[in-house]
Amino acid sequence: MTEQRLATTVLVIGTGGAGLRASIELAEAGIDVVAVGKRPKEDTHTSLAAGGINAALATMDPEDSWQQHAADTLKESYLLGDPRTAEIVTRGAAPGIDDLERYGMAFAREEDGRISQRFFGAHKFRRTAFAGDYTGLEIQRTLVRRASQLDIPLLDSVYITRLLVHDGAVFGAYGFDLSNGTRYLIHADAVILAAGGHTRVWRRTSSRRDENTGDSFRLAVEAGARLRDPELVQFHPSGIIEPENAAGTLVSEAARGEGGVLRNALGERYMSRYDPERMELSTRDRVALASYTEIKEGRGTPNGGVWLDVSHLPRQTIMARLPRVYQTLLELQMLDITRDPIEVAPTAHYSMGGVWVRPEDHSTDVRGLYAIGEASSGLHGANRLGGNSLIELLVYGRITGQAAAYSESLTAQPRSASAVAGARAEVDKVLAADGPENVRALQRAIRNTMTEHAGVVRDEQGLRAGLAELDLIEKRMENVGVHPDIAGFQDLAHAFDLKSAALAARATLEAALERRETRGCHNRSDFPETDPAFLVNLVWSPKTGVAHESIPPVPEEIASLMAEVSAEGKLVE
C-alpha cells in the first residue's frame, strides 16, 4: 500500500469553520499548517448553520455588552457552562466579526451600513448578525476563500484514523485517502482537532450521513484525552420525518420565529400547556420536550411527529424570510409550506459536551493537542444559545491558532516508531476484516439503541438497557467485514466511524446514567428535579469512568445580569 509522508508545524483535522479559522491564524503568522478533512471543504457541517452568529456589537441595541451576552449564555447553560470560557468567547466576539468582515463576508446590513442584528431566543438584546438563512454557508465560503488566498494546503477526503502520541505528547496523525486508499503519515509538532461532535449516533439527526460520528471523541480519547459532559446533547424541536434518508433535516427555528405554530394530531396548539407565556418561542430544550411528550402520550401524527404550520403567513413573508425551508420541503417531499403543515419531530442537533479542554487556549490532557468547535466543551452547558456555536469557533480558532504556534520554539520533537507501526497495523487489520457482520447494520443498531434509550427523556432502566445492547453490538463489531471497491475506500471509513460511534455512545450513556437529575437538555423521568449536587461537569474516560468536576464561580459583573429573558418579539434560538 502506498504511503505518503508529510511534515508540518501544525496539523488541523477538520476543515469546517473552526479548523479553517485556526489554519488562517497560523498561516497569517507565517507558520506552516496543513488542514485535512473527510468531506469536501465547501460542504462541511458549518455550511448547514442557518440562523446567525452572536456578538454584542450593539449596532441595534446600544445598551448591549459582552457581560450581558456572557450572562445570557451562562443562564441558559443551566449554570453548567464555564464562566471563563463564556467571558473569552463573548469578549472576543466583536473582533471575531471584524475578522470575517476583513475576509470579505457579506453580512445583512441596515440602510445606514451598520451590520444588522436580530433577536434570537433567550438573548436579552438583538445581537445575532446574519446573512439570510444561509449564515453558516456564507461563513464557510468566506473562510475557504481566505484560506486559498493564503495558499493553505487543504486536503479533502483524507480520513484520520489515529493521532500519533509518544510519552504524553502528540507528534502527528495517521490516515488514508477516501478515494484511492493511499495512506498518509503526517508528522506535526501540534495538532488541532476540529472534527465535530457525535449527533449522528442517533437515528434522527440534523447531521448528514457520515459526519458527526464522534470522530473527535475517539481520536482524542485514544490519544489520552478525556471527554466532558458527553450526555448533554441538544435536541432540535423540528426535524423532518420523511423521506427516511433525510430524516432529521432541520426546519429552521426561524419558521417558529416568524409565527409558525405547533399542533398535535388532534389539532391542539399544545405549547400553551408547557410554556403559556413564550409558546412556540420557548427555548429549544422545552419545545423539544413538549413535542416529545405529545408524541409519547399518543397525540402525535401516525408517523410519530407533530405539525409545524406556517401556511397562515403571507406567501411573501415565507419566500423572503424562509427561502431555504420552502426549497428544502419542496425538494424532499414535494410539499408547499405556503399551503400545508410540515410533519416534524425532535432531532439530535448539537453536542454541547466534547473533548475536555482548558478555557484559556483549548489545550487538552495531551501535550500539543487542542480541540475546538463542536469537538470541544465548556461553553454551552445544558443548553446552547442559537448563534453561539458559530462565534465560538471563530474566537477559539484564533486563540488556538496562536497557542499551537508554541511548537515553533521546540528544540526537538520526539517521535515513536512503535506508535506509527501501531497506526499502520490498525488500518491493515480493519482492511483485512472479513467477518459476516455488516458495518452499516451495526451503525444502525447503535442509532436505534441511542434513540430508544438516550433520547429526549431518559431513565435508569433505559440507560442500563442501552449499555447492555451496546455491549452486544461491540461484541458483533469484532466480526465485521470491510470491502473497499472500485468506488473508493468509504467502507473502511465507515468501519472507523463505527468505532467512533460506539465510544461516543458509551460515554453518553455512562454520563447520562451518572447525572441523576433533570437539567436543560437532560431529562431524567426518574429524577425530575434539578439537583444542586449535580452543579458539576461530568468528565469521562474509558480508564476512569465518570468523575465530577467543579465549575468556577460566575464573576459578579456577569452574575448581576443573569435575569430571566422574555421572549417578546424574538426569533427563537
Decide if 256 is catalytic. yes
Q: Which of 236, 284, 447, 524 is catalytic?
A: 236
Q: Which residues pair with 193 in a beta bridge?
A: 13, 371
Joined together, the cell numbers standing for residue 151 give 495558499
Torsion of CA 369, 375, 380, 382, to 10 degrees: -120
DSSP 400: H
Q: Is the separation of the CB atoms in 76 and 562 below 8 Å?
A: no
- Closest C-alpha among 119, 146, 140 to residue 51: 119
How many Å apart are CA 114 and CA 247, to the nearest integer? 38
- Closest C-alpha among 43, 459, 527, 121 to residue 285: 121
3-state SS, 456-488, equals CEECHHHHHHHHHHHHHHHHHHCCEECCCECCE
How many Å apart are CA 386 and CA 129, to the nearest integer? 11
The residue type at 533: A
Q: Is the dihedral of CA 214, 219, 221, 226 positive or negative?
A: negative
Q: Which of 123, 198, 204, 256 is catalytic?
A: 256
How many Å apart are CA 527 and CA 211, to the nearest integer? 33
List, as one string, the DSSP characters of 404-454: HGGGGG-S-----HHHHHHHHHHHHHHHH-B-SEEHHHHHHHHHHHHHHHS
Mode of pairing for the β-strands spanning 354-355 and 227-228: antiparallel
Q: How far apart are the first and last CA of the chain?
A: 48
Q: Is the separation of the CB atoms in 450 and 508 below 8 Å?
A: yes
Decide if 236 is catalytic. yes
Q: Is the separation of the CB atoms in 160 and 13 below 8 Å?
A: yes
How many Å apart are CA 92 and CA 379, to the nearest integer? 13
Joined together, the cell numbers standing for residue 525 give 423521568
Q: Is the dihedral of CA 485, 488, 492, 494 positive or negative?
A: negative
Mapping DSSP to helix (H, G, I), strand (E, B) and coil, where does residue 512 land?
A: helix
Joined together, the cell numbers standing for residue 23 give 489554519
Mapping DSSP to helix (H, G, I), strand (E, B) and coil, where does residue 33 land?
A: strand
How many Å apart are CA 440 and CA 498, to the nearest integer? 8
> How many Cα atoms occupy the beta-carbon half-sphere of 563 within 13 Å?
7
- Indicate which residues carry an active-site annotation: 236, 256
